[in-house]
Amino acid sequence: MQTNARRLFWVVISAIILYVLLDAIAQSLPPHYSPIKDVESDLAVGPYGYVMAINFLNRGVLSLVFLYALAGTVRSNSGSWGHFSIGIYTFGVWAVGAIVLAFFPTDVPATPISWHGAIHLVAAILAFFGGAFGALIISLRLGKNEAARKLRRPALLIAIVSIILLFVAVATLTGPIGGLTERLFLGSVLLWEAIVSLYFGK
C-alpha cells in the first residue's frame, strides 16, 4: 500500500496544479468576472462555465484520492485509523461538496435564488466548513501517528490559518472583496492538501 499511496499523493499534487491552471483559464474567459469581488462559483456561470464545472469535479476527485491515500498510509504505519476517522469523514464533506457544485451551478449575480442555486450554496457552505475543520482535526491527530509527527506542526499551522480565512470569507462573501477572501481560503485548504501529500509522497 505504501508505494501505491505515494503514487496517489503525487496524483493529488498534479491535480492541485491542474486546479490552479483551470481556475486561471476560467478566470480569463468571458464574461470576465472580477477575482476580487466575484466568488469562484460565478466562473461556472456563462458560456465557458463548463471549465469551472470540470474544475469542481477535479477538486472533489483529487480530495477523495487524497483521503484514500491518507487513510491507507496511517493505517499501514501504525494502525491508528481510529484517531483519524473523524477528520477524514469531515474532510470528505469538502470532497463530496465540490462534486455537488459541479452539477448544481450557482445563480448569476443579482438574480433570484433558484433551486439549483440554493443547493449550490448549501453544498459550498458545508464543503468549506468540512475542508477547514477536517484539515484541523486531521492535523491534530498527526502527532499520534509515528510517521507523521514532523508533519503535525506545519499542517496544524496551515489548518489554523484556514479556519481564520474561512470565517473571514463567510463574513465578506457578499462584499467588495468576497472573491478574494474566498480564493485565499480555498488556496489555504489546497495548500494543506499539497503539504500533506508532499510529506507522505516523498
C-alpha span between 70 and 172 (Å, rounded): 33
pLDDT of residue 112: 85
Q: What is the pTM of this model?
A: 0.94
User: Residue 70 pLDDT > 70, yes or no?
Assistant: yes
The count of structural domains within the chain is: 1
Domain that holds residue 22: 2-201
Contact 136, 160 (CB under 8 A): yes
pLDDT of residue 96: 98
CA angle at 80 for the pair 79 and 86, rounded to the nearest 5°: 135
